[in-house]
Amino acid sequence: MDSKNKNIQPAKTDTFDDVIAIIERARENAFRAVNRELISMYWEIGRYVSEKASAEKWGKSVVRDFSQFIQSHFSGIKGFSPQNIWRMKQFYETYAGNEKLSPLVREISWTNNILIMAAKTDEEREFYLLLSKAHNYSKRELERQIDSSLYERTMISSERNQQYFTRSAGLTALRDSYVLEFLDVPVNHKETELRKAIIAHLRDFILEFGKDFSFVGEEYRLQVGNTDFSIDLLFYNRELSCLVAIELKIGRFKPEHLGQLEFYLEALDRDVKKHNENPSVGLILCARKDDEVVEYALSRSMSPALIAEYQTHLPQKALLANKLRELREMAEAEGLTENDGLEEG
């Protein structure tokens, strides 16, 4: 214990902790207020430059003079390079008139806004704006999520697994594909190597799965009758208030894998889950899967479980974007067919 605090009674330190929480909350609120003012300033400067570029044909040379004027007027000020001023213009023009997204941009940092601006659609920008705000992502963390095509993977997962989400709210926290490029495992790795690599890179693994996940244990021991079993990885999801069991398979998904996971979920709910927690959910994380086999395996299962594929390299964004478009076109076509059938009846 710190020498300054060694004579303070424990009961008092508990009370003092409450004050520390008040101070930290006030500091966080102050930081957010300063950030909102900074983003609002960039917005207004972006509007000014945009209007000048339109009405008076401002170009690179004028913006360079504008940058030098600001920096000479405010000695030592940063963030007003010609490149950043052009970004302010782009920032304003990207969100001007968008009443849904323009308030969100003030809730995240400027560096994160720059990353998100590069998205191709408002839908994708909204996804990363909300995600960045909810999880308070650093620039590195957000950059990694964008590079791993989290938006496309999440949307594809939602399109594919929508029918299964109704069985358990917990399934909405899971996707049907994960990118684990940070593990640096050999091509022909073993399940033990995969598990150990995940534990060694747990921070990045949780970033990929979501910051609401907390690690409980590896090879988590369960005893049923006189027999011992072990779950490869066990997590707890704070938002959903439930245990999440993850089974690792380095090969192709097989239907019998689901039976094993369902057994673990039953054991968790009977012997480990607390009375105030929601039913446990499970995920089989495999190297390959046949979507039709997965659909058959899950069709009669009432367990809150999903089958996901993992890859150890960053996906190609264009391929995922095409896949997402195909799924949405199929969904729209099926919706039209159903409506036509109803009208004919």
252-308 confidence digits (pLDDT tens): 999 999 999 999 999 999 999 999 999 999 999 999 999 999 999 999 888 899 999
Kindly state whether residue 5 falls inside one of the protein's structural domains.
no
Q: 16-20, 78-82, 97-101, 267-271: lowest mean pLDDT where?
A: 16-20
Kindly state whether residue 334 falls inside one of the protein's structural domains.
no
Kindly state whether residue 195 falls inside one of the protein's structural domains.
yes
Q: Are residues 97 and 239 in the same domain?
A: no
Kindly state whether residue 77 falls inside one of the protein's structural domains.
yes
Do the Cβ atoms of 143 and 155 come closer than 8 Å?
Answer: no
Kindly state whether residue 20 falls inside one of the protein's structural domains.
yes
Confidence label for 12 from pLDDT (cuts 50, 70 and 90): low
Sheet arrangement for strand 242-252? 177-179, 305-311, 281-288, 242-252, 227-237, 213-224
Domain count, the chain: 2
Tell me the pLDDT of the chain averaged across its residues. Answer: 89
**Residue that terminates a domain, selected from 147, 171, 191:** 147
Say yes or no to pLDDT of 9 above 70. no
Q: Please give the pLDDT value at position 341.
A: 44
Say yes or no to pLDDT of 6 above 60. no
Do the Cβ atoms of 229 and 211 come closer than 8 Å?
Answer: no
Kindly state whether residue 338 falls inside one of the protein's structural domains.
no
Do the Cβ atoms of 245 and 215 come closer than 8 Å?
Answer: no
Q: Are residues 139 and 239 in the same domain?
A: no
User: Which residues span the domain enclosing 59?
Assistant: 10-147
Mean pLDDT along residues 323-341: 71
Q: Are residues 235 and 264 in the same domain?
A: yes
Total-model pTM: 0.81
pLDDT, one tens digit per residue, over 207-250 is 999 989 999 999 999 999 999 999 999 999 998 999 999 999 99
Q: Please give the pLDDT value at position 328.
A: 85
